[in-house]
């Protein structure tokens, strides 16, 4: 069903792109209205009847995968937390935990419906608000062999970790209350629509035939671009770049990276929504790409700085995981190695040269790794995808089909623009209403004490 | 010779070190301490139990200098650490009758720099 | 089969309650005798023949769940360990690890048999001592689609973590040798009987129709009440409350909470003993309740102390997980949100006001969170349970059936009294024989060095 | 198919042993040649036609198991890392991470083929280089119900953690570049052949009927013996034994041990390659042996040093996991308890008395725990194995069959000699080419700063 | 002025701080140190390797006071830290010729309090 | 009496403590410090950002001794810590007018040992 791209573009590609972006922006003004309309539209188009029966093996795997993806948010918290200064450790953990709570509830209340309920090409309907109608029977539109609620929970974990990724950009200086408000808005006006475009039945990018197996566009480009916007809007930390101490606890960052890697098996292989060959293939290429990217970054450090660094290796591995995400259901192990090498190289260049040259303070490289890595992954999917791995996918450029690459590029552009622009608008809005940045004094003291009245570690006890 | 001890706010360390370098005072020993002073600590909260947190993180500098450098050292620390707010810290100057450089065995004024 | 309550009570409810408690106490004196008798009784009542066949998907899920629940004990060790003072860090880890070893073996030797072997209403028989007869074929009484040993292992992990929860009450002052002895007794004379009452075939609370999907009563109330007894018997730590330093490593506490949350998916959704709709439902409500409770506690902190705290948020989330446990197979997402809010609120009040007012030193709030949260969860099950989620369950008060609530309240009362009283008796017994508390000097030095000859961290190296 | 031993040995046992070792050494000189020959040999012997169909439950379980085993490498990194001095923390983490990346790629490129592709009795063929032919259909030779790639990935994780175990021997003093080169060679010339002997179709130890369910020989003896060689070749750390500070962060070691224990469920129960009774049995005995061994070591510490130590308990538990590994598919819970007690006792003696007496510096007891524990486990398999657990296995001495014990002893001897000798040769080779040990100055400064330009923790920030 | 250095047992810190407060000596700097004294350390055990652990955790207090306060300071520390057991610690009193408050630039006796 | 402060390389601590013991100087207080001296730090690298790392880990020793022991103390530290390389460290000797043993209340020369 994802293979309908071949007749959809070429003629009116550009026009559609413009329409798409404009349309998407319109969402901001009238989500609910659009959504209601969508609901009616969907009602008209009956779903293809597929005999849906719960398979215990598939369900077991997706349940596990959902748990694994849930673990990625604390994993990310430690990955990020280990990199900040001691005085801000808890603030990072707290932000991630808060998103785990807050966005989970947003998802139950309206996020899932906006993303996946039958709707228009731009946004899901409101039929599944408060999970009404999301039961224990499979929904064959998304996964014919697992309970609908399990699919919903699996997707929830994606909705949670995506905003958490953005935290890396404004770490050590963002107001906590503003973060909560901003993230609620962002989940509703950025994440949910983009998830619908790419994965929702009727989503326009899905219609085009854009391939995004496990969220390169929806999760990584999306988060990465808003991260860039956030780094620009919030400005640099005091003393950046010289006056910022090195990571206060690299072992915690390694722990976080390990949990991310572990969880990513659920993220990517779980996206097969069943335990069979496709899951196995996604599992394989996920691991290989991470390994290749970790090695690549370490070697680049070795070349440039004479020594391979631990932080470099884990950053590379995470970059590899990011980049393989959209491709993970469509490429061979050889493709995965190529994608992994690119995922070590391109974000490395972004973080080493581009960030330094442009001077924005993307504190923990949320844009540099997730944005840049996500873009590479989406484009690489257009290069390396092959139907030999997944007949429901498409062939990429290296398998003789240039069209997919073009679709992927358009998808990237649309998402890049949409996430950046809407992210920026939302940030400005929150800034105007309640401010985004803590006071200079609070930043000096550290967010742990200033915003949470706690210290991560005791000095004397 | 004098043994200068400075207690400063943690986030002023970089600035103080810069000022000291400008005055060509390169040798310095730094450590973590907790201070109780006029500055009131922020109350920490743990499961609704309030911990007055009267001990605040500070940085301690120790600098052994020849007499001629004492005032420059005090000034460099003061300039770098001063914000005008309570908690800025203190400088203590002790007499230092003797000093030895372990590497060379030199003593006194020669050893200090 | 859990729905047989309707004809069982009303007339003689109170009488049975009294008899039950007395009978349970009698267990202390003559477990073996009762058990042997029970065995005979059970022999008379042949199990209903159910065609039992191992299902690979169900087995996969329960294997994973057992592993997840096993991980909760180290998770708890870090959750608790991060909250104590540096000098007692290892003692907490060591206590949890020791229970993981000790109770696992107790379970193999006699615990499983006392809990689950056919027996009387009060205690299981001795038929399955040393796991004899616990083979690789399913036992349809408990789970018709997974190997009997897998069910046994899954249950083992519950038997391990329950006593570990109690540690929170007497942290930083309990003798290690006494702890080992006490816990062996407690597992045998408190945990195993209560597990049998609620889950064992023929257990009297199960007969009544009490609902406890994943152990609200057996695990949390049980541990929480003995924890209260322990806090009272052992007395306060030196310097409590002013002289106790804040948590020495909150990131470790967050790590522990994350592992607990992750493992709880196995705890609750694994309790469906198969990978299907019910597991999916349990998974969903577990997560939602945790999110709602974490948010609630954070908001209460925000209101009362002007700032939301990380410790508050993770405490709330754990509270939510505790409270949803008994209900997790019976309630809807909406019910889960309500239970979660209560689970943020009620333990918060207990910890903030009641503990302070009464002045006992429940060091890490084992009673405040597990006891109080467990009671709320058991009662809430009587409010929010609905057969629409699980036909094998029952409807609660809000679905028109007041009887279940009454059963749940009685169950709570019985367990509260039993665990508190027997816990107290066992503590006094151990106190009389070998003492419970370390010397004043050992407490000052810290248990790590005094009892284990180790230091958690080096100061200079 | 593992039960063909009874007619294979006795007559020419010793002769075969000698031939085997010599032949194995020949591998060093001409892996490729041998391999190509093997390929032809294999082509001649058509695989038994087994109807292979992917089972979703089995696949789910093996996917999860692969993820769990992957997590063991970071787990090991923390287990080891917590035990070294602060200044070498990252070096240990980095070494483990590097192996995760490097050996994964080696496995894709040639390791899997050398280990598992049809070949001779001594080495696999080259047919599956670059995973060519390793697809999503099951390969009935190894696992008839899961995709071949999933089997390959599961095995990859074993190939990764085995060399990582060796790190413990030369921690705090090995050059990083030499480590990378050495490990690549070791994986190719030691791990891959031994894996083939024991597990590969046609492998000669497999032909003999040697039992190694989850890698006692392939993983633990193999790594442990080379670890001993490495400790001898590299020599002691400066200041050993008095001048070495105690573990810098025991909680990290406990965390690592917990992750190892958790992951070991995948390691052992996953080796059943399906989710049924055998997996359940392996799961059960794995846990029980770990518990028994942890308790044993703690009690021995209690006896000898008056206090039980946390490090002792986790070391014992890991020892138990090591020892049960080869036996995990063949023994009963009672057997597991016996093996566990031995696994607490024997490595304890090795570490306490033998290491001290001989004076080699096996820094983190890679030989003492994995080598010694692995040998005990392999021999114990010959004692406690029973067909009642696994009809495809064999009966051990205590079940009336002395032959198996003899096979196991020979297998141990061959592996011990092979791993030690070839390990030694490779180490000497790398030493001659590029040196093995860091300079005295780098060792003093610490490897983190000297080799990786990083510090694990900030002192002031 | 004098610079008083006290080395005490970690668990006596709260008591000492209380006593100092009672004497209106509010300003104090605290740090972690390890001490080797008459007190024998407990042997630590790591995989049966005994580590003599001769260095024990102690707390170091530094208090700059005017002459008039010296005895009160010494007494407060002594009273708070005294248990009569080996390991109670020591107090060292050094001369302090100069003291500066960074916030105001005040010097000497005015700056100290 | 004198108050001897030594700043040494971390890995020389064991050796210095051994030498002190040989000289029967058993009482010593040790702490972690960071030092900036002639020794150039190794640049740390974090995601290609170079951190000059001018502050290096050092160990600080504090030893209060009677006059008769001063030279022996200095020699013991020097012998134990000397490697001849930059970064070996310094010894500072301050006057110590008073000393109190908390356990017994003894003062002066008796209290110091
Ligand atoms: N008399 C003193 N003795 C020891 N330490 C002092 C003394 N006075 C100040 N300090 C140290 O200096 C820090 C800052 O002092 P504070 O009184 O808060 O600042 P300010 O001088 O700006 O009022 C204190 O936290 C303490 O560590
Ligand atoms: N002469 C000294 N120089 C430096 N530190 C000392 C000296 N004497 C004692 N200390 C410090 O005081 C601590 C307590 O000393 P100790 O001799 O154990 O106690 P007590 O005075 O009760 O005999 C020591 O661990 C050490 O840190
Ligand atoms: N004048 C000084 N004041 C304070 N600390 C000093 C002084 N001189 C040296 N130090 C301390 O001693 C350490 C070693 O000094 P360094 O100059 O590197 O060694 P060397 O004496 O061998 O040249 C420094 O890192 C610093 O901590």
- pLDDT tens digit string along C52-97? 799 999 999 999 999 999 999 999 999 999 999 999 999 999 999 9
Q: Kindly list the residues from chain A whose CB atom is less than 8 angstroms away from the CB atom of residue D131.
A: 333
CB contact set of A18 (below 8 Å; sequence gap of 6+): none
Measuring from atom 1 of ligand 1, which residue has the nearest CA?
E64
Q: Is the CB of F85 under 6 A from ligand 3?
A: no
Higher pLDDT: D132 or C2? It is D132
- The verdict on the CB of residue E63 being under 6 Å from ligand 1 is yes
3-state SS assignment for residue A65: helix
Chain A CB contacts of E10 under 8 Å are 460
- Mean pLDDT over each residue of chain E, to the nearest integer: 92
Structure tokens at C195: 């597990």
DSSP state of D241: T
Proportion of chain D above pLDDT 90, given as a percent: 86
Contact F34 D460 (CB under 8 A): yes
H/E element, A302: helix A277-305
C9-23, C127-141, D403-417: segment of lowest average pLDDT: C9-23
Any atom of ligand 3 within 6 Å of the Cβ of B106: no
* Neighboring chain B residues of F95 at a CB cutoff of 8 Å: 95, 97
B29 lines ligand 3 (CB under 6 A): yes
Asked if residue C341 has a cis previous peptide bond (ω within 30° of 0), the answer is no
* Cα C26 off chain centre by: 23
Residues of chain B contacting C356 with CB distance shorter than 8 Å: 48-49
Average pLDDT over residues E73-86: 95
> Alpha helix locations (H) across C48-88?
56-81
Cβ contact C208:C407 at 8 Å: yes
Closest residue by CA, ligand 1 atom 12: B89
What is the per-residue burial (b if ≥16 Cβ within 10 Å, else e) of F53-88?
bbbbbbbbbbbbbbeebbebbbebbbbbbbbeeebb
Q: How many CA atoms lie within 13 A of D41 on its CB side?
A: 19
Give the model confidence (pLDDT) of A257-314 as tens digits.
999 999 999 999 999 999 999 999 999 999 999 999 999 999 999 999 999 999 999 9
Nearest to D301 by CA among D311, D309, D291: D309
In the predicted model, what is the mean pLDDT of chain D?
Answer: 91
Listing DSSP states for C282-324 in one string gives HHHHHHHHHHHHHHHHHHHHHHHHSS--HHHHHHHHHHHHHHH
Rounded to an integer, what distance in angstroms lies between the CA atom of residue D51 and that of residue B10?
Answer: 70
**F100 C-alpha vs ligand 2 centroid, how far in Å?**
10
Token pair recorded at residue B95: 């007499």
Tell me the pLDDT tens digit for each residue of D338-362: 999 999 999 999 999 999 999 999 9
For ligand 3, the distance from its centroid to the CA atom of residue E63, given in whole angstroms, is: 25
CA angle A53, A54, A57 (to 5 degrees): 130
CA distance B97 to chain D (A): 30
Q: Does the beta carbon of E45 lie under 8 angstroms from any beta carbon of chain D?
A: yes
For C146, other C-beta atoms within 10 Å of its C-beta total: 30
Residue B38 in contact with ligand 1 by CB distance below 6 A: yes
- Which of F5, F27, F31, when mutated, tests ligand 2's pocket best, judged by the most ligand atoms within 8 Å of its CB? F27
Identify the pLDDT of residue B71: 96
- pLDDT over 60 at C152, yes or no: yes
Say if B52 is an interface residue toward chain A (CB within 8 Å): no
As given in the structure block, the two tokens for residue E29 are 């700097």
* Long-range contacts at C382-388 (CB < 8 A, ≥ 24 apart): C382/C211, C382/C406, C382/C407, C382/C408, C382/C409, C384/C327, C384/C330, C384/C331, C384/C332, C384/C335, C384/C338, C384/C339, C385/C211, C385/C327, C385/C330, C385/C331, C385/C335, C386/C330, C386/C331, C386/C332, C386/C335, C388/C332
Q: Does the ipTM exceed 0.85?
A: yes
Closest CA to B29 of D329, D459, A132: D459
- Nearest CA-CA distance, residue D97 and chain F, Å: 17
Sole residue written with tokens 């207690």: B7
Lowest-pLDDT choice from C201-210, C222-231, D26-35: D26-35
- Is A453 close to B14, i.e. CB distance below 8 A? no
* C-beta of residue D125 within 8 angstroms of C-beta of residue D117: yes
Q: Which chains touch F (3 or more CB pairs under 8 A)?
A: A, B, C, D, E
Instruction: Quote the tokens at residue A335.
Output: 């493709």
Q: Number of CB pairs < 8 Å for D and E?
A: 28
Q: Do A288 and D105 touch (CB under 8 A)?
A: yes
- Residue C334: Cβ within 10 Å count: 15
Quick one: which ligand is closest to F113's CA? 2
pLDDT at A20: 39
Pocket test residue of B4, B29, B70, B104 for ligand 3, highest count of atoms within 8 A of CB: B29
Query: Residue D460: its chain B contacts at CB < 8 A?
Result: 10, 13, 30-32, 59
Q: Give F36-68 pLDDT, tens digit per residue.
A: 988 777 789 998 888 876 788 999 999 999 999
Nearest to D193 by CA among D132, D129, D119, D131: D119
Q: Is A352–F47 a contact, with Cβ atoms under 8 angstroms apart?
A: yes
* CA E1 / ligand 1 centre spacing (Å): 15
Q: Which of A323, A309, A312 is nearest to A224 (CA)?
A: A323
């001592």: which residue's tokens?
C129
Give DSSP secondary structure letters for A378-443. Answer: HHHHHHH--TTT-TTS---GGGT-HHHHHHHHHHHHHHHHHHHHHHHHHHHHHHHHH-SB--HHHH
Q: Is 70 exceeded by the pLDDT of residue C255?
A: yes
The structural domains of chain B, with segments of one domain joined by +, span: 2-112
Name chain E's partners: 3 or more CB pairs within 8 A. Answer: A, B, C, D, F
Cα C459 to Cα A246, A329, C230, D309, E32, distances in angstroms: 21, 49, 33, 19, 9
Q: Give the CA count within 13 Å in the CB-facing half-sphere of D259.
A: 27
Which pair of structure tokens corresponds to residue D309?
A: 């130590």
Average pLDDT of chain C, as a whole number:
91
| Residue D286: closest CA among D193, D162, D377, D347 | D377
Report CA dihedral (D264, D269, D275, D278) to the nearest 10 degrees. Answer: -160
Fold type of domain E2-112: Alpha-Beta Plaits (3.30.70)
Q: Which residues pair with E64 in a beta bridge?
A: E3
Q: How far, rounded to the nearest angstrom, does the alpha carbon of residue C317 sit from its chain's CA centroid?
A: 16
Give CA–CA dist C421/A49, Å, rounded: 59
- Burial class of C357 by CB neighbour count within 10 A (0 to 12, 13 to 18, 19+): exposed
Nearest CA to ligand 1 atom 25: B35
Q: What percentage of chain B's residues is helix, strand, coil (to nearest 5)?
A: 30, 40, 35
C-alpha span between E82 and F106 (Å, rounded):
13
What's the rounded Cα separation, in Å, for the pair C271 and C434? 38
Which stretches within A172-276 are classed as H helix? 176-186, 192-199, 204-208, 222-234, 250-264
CB contact under 8 A, A444 and B11: yes
pLDDT over 60 at A7, yes or no: no
Q: What pLDDT is stored for residue C37 in this prediction?
A: 42
Angle of the C148-170 helix axis to the C176-186 helix axis, nearest 10: 130
Rounded CA separation E18/F79 (Å): 42
- DSSP category for residue E61: E
Mean local confidence (pLDDT), D425-444:
96
Domains observed in chain C: 14-30+55-452 (1.10.3430.10)
F32 touches chain D (CB under 8 A): yes
In chain D, which among 258-277 make CB contacts under 8 A with chain A? 275
Closest alpha carbon within chain C to F58? C460
Atom of ligand 2 nearest to the CA of F101: 21
Global pTM?
0.93
**How large is the average pLDDT for residues D55-79?**
98
Ligand sitting nearest the alpha carbon of E28:
1
- Sequence-distant (6+) residues with CB within 8 A of D18 are none
Cβ contact A312–F47 (<8 Å): yes
Q: What is the pLDDT, as a whole number, of residue A51?
A: 60
Does A245 score more than 90 pLDDT?
Answer: no
Helices D310-327 and C89-106: crossing angle in degrees, nearest 10, is 40
CA distances from D210 to A182, A384, D220, F11, F27 (A): 62, 43, 15, 49, 61
Q: What is the pLDDT of residue F40?
A: 73
Our CA angle for E37, E43, E49, nearest 5°, is: 135
Contact criterion met (CB < 8 Å) for B46 and A460: no
Closest CA to A270 of C373, D59, B107, C176: D59
Instruction: Give the position, in ligand 1's atom list, of the atom nearest the Cα of B88.
Output: 22
Q: Is C139 in a helix, a strand, or coil? A: strand
Least reliable range by pLDDT among C153-157, D30-34, D278-282, F23-27: D30-34
Burial class, C273, CB count within 10 angstroms (exposed 0-12 / middle 13-18 / buried 19+): buried
């Amino acid at each position: 069903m994802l293979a309908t791209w071949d007749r959809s573009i070429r003629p009116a590609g550009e026009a559609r792109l413009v329409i798409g972006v404009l349309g998407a922006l319109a969402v901001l003004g009238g989500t609910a209205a659009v959504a209601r309309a969508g609901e009616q539209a969907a009602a008209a188009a009956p779903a293809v009847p597929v005999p849906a029966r719960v398979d215990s093996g598939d369900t077991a795997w997706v349940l596990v995968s959902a748990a694994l993806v849930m673990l990625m948010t604390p994993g990310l918290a430690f990955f990020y937390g280990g990199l900040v200064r001691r005085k801000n450790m808890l603030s990072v953990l707290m932000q991630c935990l808060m998103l785990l709570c807050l966005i989970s509830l947003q998802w139950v209340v309206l996020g899932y419906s906006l993303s996946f309920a039958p709707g228009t090409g731009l946004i899901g309907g409101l039929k599944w608000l408060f999970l009404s109608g999301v039961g224990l029977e499979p929904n064959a539109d998304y996964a014919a062999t697992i309970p609908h609620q399990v699919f919903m929970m699996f997707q929830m974990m994606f909705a949670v970790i995506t905003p958490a990724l953005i935290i890396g950009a404004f770490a050590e200086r963002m107001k906590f209350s503003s973060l909560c408000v901003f993230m609620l808005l962002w989940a509703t006006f950025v994440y949910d629509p983009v998830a619908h475009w790419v994965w929702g039945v009727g989503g326009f990018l899905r219609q085009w035939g854009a391939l995004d197996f496990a969220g390169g566009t929806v999760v990584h480009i999306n988060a990465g671009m808003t991260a860039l916007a956030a780094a620009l809007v919030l400005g640099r930390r005091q003393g950046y770049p010289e006056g910022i101490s090195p990571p206060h606890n690299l072992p915690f960052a390694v722990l976080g990276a390990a949990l991310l890697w572990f969880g990513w098996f659920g993220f990517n292989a779980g996206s097969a929504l069943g335990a069979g060959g496709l899951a196995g293939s996604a599992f394989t290429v996920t691991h290989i790409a991470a390994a290749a990217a970790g090695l690549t970054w370490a070697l680049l450090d070795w070349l440039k700085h004479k020594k391979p660094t631990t932080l470099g290796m884990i950053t590379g591995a995470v970059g590899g995981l990011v980049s393989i995400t959209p491709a993970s259901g469509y490429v061979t192990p050889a493709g995965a190695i190529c994608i992994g090498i690119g995922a070590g190289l391109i974000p490395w260049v972004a973080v080493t040269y581009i960030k330094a040259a442009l001077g924005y303070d993307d504190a923990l490289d949320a844009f540099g790794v997730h944005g840049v890595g996500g873009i590479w992954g989406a484009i690489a999917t257009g290069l390396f995808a092959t139907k030999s791995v997944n007949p429901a996918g498409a062939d990429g450029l290296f398998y003789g089909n240039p069209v997919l690459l073009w679709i992927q590029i358009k998808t990237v552009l649309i998402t890049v623009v949409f996430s950046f622009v809407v992210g920026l608008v939302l940030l400005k809005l929150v800034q105007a209403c309640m401010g985004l940045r803590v006071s200079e004094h609070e930043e000096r003291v550290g967010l742990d004490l200033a915003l949470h009245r706690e210290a991560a570690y005791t000095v004397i006890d | 010779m004098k043994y200068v001890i400075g207690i400063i706010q943690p986030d002023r360390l970089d600035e103080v070190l810069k000022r000291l370098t400008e005055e060509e005072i390169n040798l310095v020993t730094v450590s973590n301490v907790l201070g109780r002073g006029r500055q009131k600590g922020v109350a920490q909260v743990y499961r609704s139990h309030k911990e007055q947190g009267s001990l605040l993180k500070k940085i301690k500098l120790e600098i052994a200098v020849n007499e001629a450098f004492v005032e420059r050292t005090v000034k460099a620390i003061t300039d770098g650490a001063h914000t005008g707010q309570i908690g800025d810290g203190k400088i203590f100057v002790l007499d230092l009758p003797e000093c030895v450089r372990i590497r060379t065995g030199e003593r006194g004024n020669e050893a200090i720099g």
